[in-house]
Structure 1
């Protein structure tokens, strides 16, 4: 009797932990869905829909279609980012499933921030498809590097070669911005050089080993990311109907992207508009800038989010049906 008790006693804490774990996971995802609903409602309240509607009505149909096409092209391109991770990790999920997961995560990331949107949704969706946490981590790491690699190069070149006159209260001189731009571009090119030239392309971070891709893959990452940021800027440029130079729009967008990350505001709500008005308010009427950017949000943020929420719900329903029938 005592021998049996001695054998079973150490197992009780583990059994209790296993019993509580499903409840903790359910509570976390219930909170996630509640936050998703709250953010959707909150963002809908913060958008001046009458201004969006008026701006969209004033836009010629060809302009609206062209901007929508560029937004679709950007989301479609970003959906291929995780395919690079598919090759690196070696999993066999179909490309269509990988792209769907990436699209959903990207839309959530844009509107709810990286941690709640991009990270949590990827772990859940890829987990549903049978990938382990380490595999998902490696996929996300490669995708994040891809996204910011193009930013570093484009931002570096834009800041170094086409510095904008900044507001005096920002207390940043053109020289400082140009030096920062040169450093950003150097980091991007240094990454590509390291991938191409280093013999041991392995990095260890907190006990986890990550392998750098080949030089060819690094160049592909750089090209994909540069094209994606260019498409995003092109969407705003088209909506502005060429009233500002494309390079100016791209440079301001890149500055606003950093501001959005630093402030941790979901979807950069208000940050994007504030940066554009601060830098370009003397060239275009602030009301026109804000109206155009609200139209951009409707096309690039909210429309994809609506599709992503629908796709996410369908994904969850199908997973529950498969689990029930298994």
Structure 2
């Protein structure tokens, strides 16, 4: 396919370069207008109880995320103990946030589940299930928020592709995302039990009950992430902050920049800069990163070291649980 359509690859590269140029321009424009002394002052003025609430929401989010791997255990059919699965999930999620999904989420899961004796085929099913859970929940929550008009881009919003610079365009996008989430549930109902083969790989959709669990976990988790940011932006409505975070998450995923550093800030300033001074936005996002990225990273690093140095399992799990 690549040889037949070389223009597709070139178009993707051009689009990616254009996207990076747009983000760079947004960052440059924002950096010129930010008083960094105000950023520092914003961080110093944070109340201890605000940080405590943000850390509690972070802990709830990471605990909920371990449910992805627990549900994936049922889907993939391995029997790694529950506590071990939760630690693997926590470590993989944390490193995925900080260094990227390919190395963090996939790479760490491959290594840690392999050490537990899980076959490669089942590990890939776990990874695929967790990725699908994360994004199908994103589609549902983002679709609901965008379609409801929770966020309306300012008049000078720099991105007007497909009408996304307008409230009407965001509502249309929301409806499309909701349709994707609904299509996933329909596919789970219609094709459950059927195995699909694609380029040497095979997969099947989960049951509707498991799909509903995916949606419930992921939408709640994305909401918790947004509420962590909202703790530091009390002057903005929670729904608006969550919607802005969802847009920033996609931009960060496209940019492939570790932890989305700079990208999320550019999106927040572009969307909310007309309502909140840029120094306060930067300060809020720095506090968010400290709570949601750096604090878990310190814990995950210690947890991973403990797992690496423990004795290897002496036997390979043999039982295969069916969904």
TM-score (norm 2): 0.80
* Unmatched runs of 5 consecutive residues or more in structure 2: 1-35, 315-323
Whether 1:170 and 2:159 are equivalent positions in the alignment is yes
Within 2, Cα distance between the matches of 1:93 and 1:52? Answer: 46
User: Are 1:307 and 2:294 counterparts?
Assistant: no
Q: Is the 2:40–2:283 Cα contact (8 Å) retained in structure 1?
A: no
Deviations 1:194-249 (A, max 9, x none): 21243554322222221211111111100100100010011111122x21011110
1:131 counterpart = 2:118: yes
Note the aligned Cα RMSD (angstroms): 2.0
Structure 2 equivalent of residue 291 of structure 1: 283
List aligned pairs for 1:35-184, cutoff 5 A.
55-162=42-149, 163-166=151-154, 167-171=156-160, 172=164, 173-184=166-177
Aligned to 2:188: 195
Cα offsets for 1:44-75 (capped at 9, x unmatched): xxxxx998875454222221111110011001
Structure 1 runs not aligned, ≥5 long: 1-48
Structure 2 counterpart of 1:220? 213
In terms of fraction of residues, the more helix-rich structure is 1
Correspondent of 1:279 among 257, 271, 274 = 271
SS at 1:169's partner residue? coil
Deviation at 1:176, TM superposition (A): 2.8
Q: Deviations over 1:275-294 (max 9, x none)?
A: 11111111111101101110
Q: Which residue of 1 aligns with 2:228?
A: 235
SS in 2 for 1:282: coil
Q: Which moved more, 1:288-297 or 1:51-60?
A: 51-60
Q: Is the 8 A contact 1:55 1:295 kept in 2?
A: no
How far, CA to CA, are the matches of 2:76 and 2:174 in structure 1? 33
Q: Which residue of 244, 258, 267 maps to 1:266?
A: 258
**Alpha-carbon distance in structure 2 between the residues aligned to 1:77 and 1:245:** 24
SS at match of 2:235: coil
| Corresponding residue of 1:250 | 242
Separation (CA, whole Å) in 2 of partners of 1:107 and 1:52: 26
Cα shift readout 1:78-123 (whole Å, capped 9, x = no counterpart): 0110111111122111111001001000000000001111111110
Distance 2:77 2:124 in 1: 13
Residue 212 of structure 1 aligns to a residue whose secondary structure is: coil
CA distance in 1, matches of 2:38, 2:300: 25
Cα distance between partner residues in 1 of 2:189 and 2:271? 38
Kindly indicate whether structure 1 or structure 2 has the higher relative contact order, using CA contacts under 8 Å at least 6 residues apart: 2
Which structure has the larger Rg?
1
Contact 2:144–2:178 (Cα < 8 Å) also in 1: yes
| Whole-Å separation in 2 of the counterparts to 1:100 and 1:127 | 14
- Rounded Cα–Cα distance in structure 2 between residues aligned with 1:197 and 1:141: 20
Distance 1:122 1:129 in 2: 11
Write the deviation string for residues 114-167 of structure 1: whole angstroms up to 9, x where unpaired: 111111111011111111111110001011111111100111122222141243
> Which position in structure 1 is the counterpart of 2:28?
none
